[in-house]
Amino acid sequence: MNRDEVPNWILALDKESVEFIRKFVMNSGSLKNMADIYNVSYPTVRAKLDSLIKKIELNSKKDDVEFVKMIKNLVIDERISLDTAKLIIDKYKNERSDV
């Protein structure tokens, strides 16, 4: 696969997320093994996987512009609230449609 063929959802992931995916695959998708590797509880690993799934889903949508993806990722990373993100995205989309 050439670099230009790498899907956007992969490019949007941070190093830690890519490493989590690698370990997950190498352990045949066993969350129990992942909990042992990271020395955390099963629910903690499940939460990490759920967060990663959300990131991949968000970055797989082709209609979202980069700014909207960034705002959605801030929600997933719990850096801003969902309500704040909605306000920002609505304002952004309204201003873009006015142009």
57-98, pLDDT tens digit by residue? Answer: 877 765 567 788 888 888 888 889 888 988 998 888 887 765
Would you state the structure tokens that stand for residue 91, as one six-digit string?
Answer: 């304002």
> Exposure pattern of 30-50 as b/e (b: 16+ CB <10 Å)?
ebeebbeeeeeeeeebeebbe
Q: Is the per-residue pLDDT at 27 higher than 50?
A: yes
pLDDT (tens digit per residue) in 35-47: 999 999 999 999 9
User: Taking 60 as the threshold, does the pLDDT of residue 99 lie above it?
Assistant: no
Residues 58 and 76 in one domain: no
Same domain, 21 and 38: yes
Give the structural domain span for 47. Answer: 1-62
> Are residue 80 and residue 42 in the same domain, yes or no?
no
Q: What is the identity of the amino acid at 77?
A: D
Same domain, yes or no: 56 and 68: no
Residue 8 and residue 26 in one domain: yes
Domain total of the chain: 2
- From residue 61, alpha-carbon distances to 6, 12, 30, 97 in Å are 15, 12, 27, 20
Q: Is residue 57 located within the same domain as residue 77?
A: no
